[in-house]
Chains A and B, each alone.
Chain A
């Protein structure tokens, strides 16, 4: 490896980074008198003005409740909401628009599948399979439903690089669990799981698969038909959209046979005191007034990402990942955690002599925002034998210079505490 510092600049990017950064008003600020260097995108991504404007414009001009009023604003709001559904169904290449249910986010989507699809099917002795790499939101809903039904939760092991152990997977999937739930991309380590392969193997044993796509949709083009999965859940705020909006996709025949989880307005066709008739999919699962502005903002985020190009986003984020991996590996006392071959732009690491939480505070004083902690993946941390890690997670608006700022700040953190 060459020791001469390679001169890298924004001009190496295929993206027009200064124009892109100008779309994100929040990036243009100082924190503790230093330029903000936002590297906590896996927690939540920043929003371009196109998203902020879409939400504001809806409230300024179109706000009304949907699917009921006959007045002009209600019709505009309904059209905007339903066109957002069409947009998002298209974004993940669903075969039908009504297969996309708007929910609060990935967590609510997984809980819905656990309670509506799994709970009526599970019996004592049945198994649900997750992985040690998963986020708590793809573990705890299954624990709850296992407690309710007497089923057993099992987890595919991870290897020392932070990849799923495929032998462990084969052994557990051949036990024919009732469902396999797996993250597309690990939030804690960035590992991209071989979802298509996992789905093929699971289906060979007749096991349906739920994919937690919260960390995938921000980074790559997702095609649910090509993946072959049965459920796909994702969140708006991780992919440059608003908080409080996300979606569940599933095939229409599965959704049709699932009972609703929540009762209320919108999810019914007819109500009497004796009984009610459920509305059609997807409205059956959208009780109450939904997050209309959120759905519109999410569709604007999808538009924005596609205007830049998902391939271009992926290429630049890969460059950021390579640069971060190299700079951090070369920084004395830094150990990278999670070295999977296929990774999204996330680097998890520990620094000798500096606890991740101290690191978080010290980096903040340099304007650098990272995450420190267990990343809602305590089973993974226990497996790795670590109480916590520091995590820098990149987005396409990040620059190579920001990664240099991070690496330089790590050196100063060690000087201070180690």
Chain B
């Protein structure tokens, strides 16, 4: 296993300079995610209007995988239909747990940089935390954990 497959340059970049790392003052949805194993904590803010994610941002602290994953999520979903978030959640989950043979990784774009995580089972939850949190936010729940 090459460490560069896990710490892909996109991940290193998004960990060093997370995109949309800020608080949104009047979100329509907000949820907190916590990974008790690593202590990764994040808070996800969403502004959803007429089924479209107009703005999405996050705050928190955690390992490079969790920070980069959240950063990539916000970058990808801003301006997209909320439905797409749920579809991507399923695809990311399959990709990271090694069930993603049928997934068009090209369509995932930069998110596919996280694929290397699947070789590290103990780190999969770091990558999926933000997706669980987003799912909880869109379902109107205020807390998500990876347990």
Contact = CB atoms under 8 A, between A and B. Distances in A.
B31 interface: no
Nearest to A359: B63
Contacts of B65: 357-358
A388 B3 contact: no
B29 to A, nearest CB: 25
Given A416-B7, A416-B12, A417-B12, A357 B1 contact: no
Interface string A381-418: 10000011000000000000000000000000000110
A89 to B, nearest CB: 38
B56 interface: no
A32 interface: yes
Contacts of A416: 3, 7, 12
A32 B64 contact: no
Residue of B15, B39, B40, B123 most packed against chain A (CB within 10 A): B39
Give the interface size bracket for B toward A.
20 to 34
B1 A355 contact: no
B25 to A, nearest CB: 26
Given A373-B39, A416-B7, A361 B62 contact: no
Give the interface size bracket for A toward B.
10 to 19
Contact of A358 (B1, B39, B41, B63): B63
A289 interface: no
Given A373-B39, A387-B41, A417-B12, A358 B64 contact: yes
A362 B15 CA distance: 15
A353 to B, nearest CB: 8
Contact of A417 (B38, B62, B64, B120): B64
Interface string A11-44: 0000000000000000000001000000000000
Interface of B: 1, 3, 6-7, 12, 15-16, 37-41, 61-65, 120, 123, 126
Interface of A: 32, 353-358, 361-362, 365, 372-374, 381, 387-388, 416-417
9 contacts: A353-B16, A357-B63, A358-B7, A358-B65, A361-B6, A388-B38, A416-B7, A416-B12, A417-B64
